[in-house]
Copies of this chain bind each other. A is one copy, B any other.
Amino acid sequence: MQQALDILAVSTRGAGLYEITDDVAGWVRGTGFQLGLLTVFCRHTSAGLLITENASPAVWRDLQRWMSHVAPEGDHYEHSDEGPDDMPAHLKSVLTGNSVTVPVSDGRIMLGTWQGLFLAEFRRAPHRRSVVMHLAGQ
């Protein structure tokens, strides 16, 4: 087994889901590995990574509304000096987690037909997010 590692920079333009499936799949293809384990890791505490339906923008909107309902803005947070969307962003980041792990076979990420990989930006202001891609395999 061998390893490959790279950084994917994702520029966000406000809160939302940014699909990175093609970027990551292209990188995996470029390594030439046929069998392996892919790990994608987001180096931030106010953004996250998740897998969800890849074909329906309505699902993405419902998902974001749901996360904002579960972790709402409000004046009940002790940590509020970085703006009203900061603490909810930290909570959503714990909700989604910071990494996604997917096996690779025949040189392809083994996502299901309807699965897409997304960076979830939880802050309103534009950010440049650093996402680590690691592949162990052969």
Contacts and interface: CB of A to CB of B under 8 A. Distances in A.
A136 B137 CA distance: 8
Nearest to A1: B1
B45 A53 contact: yes
Interface string A39-67: 10101110000111100101101110010
A41 B36 CA distance: 13
A31 interface: no
A132 interface: yes
* Size bin of chain A's contact surface: 35 or more
A103 B63 contact: no
A119 interface: no
A63 B43 contact: no
Interface string A1-41: 11101000000000000000000000000000001110101
A101 B137 contact: no
Given A111-B43, A114-B45, A103 B132 contact: yes
A113 to B, nearest CB: 8
A37 B133 CA distance: 11
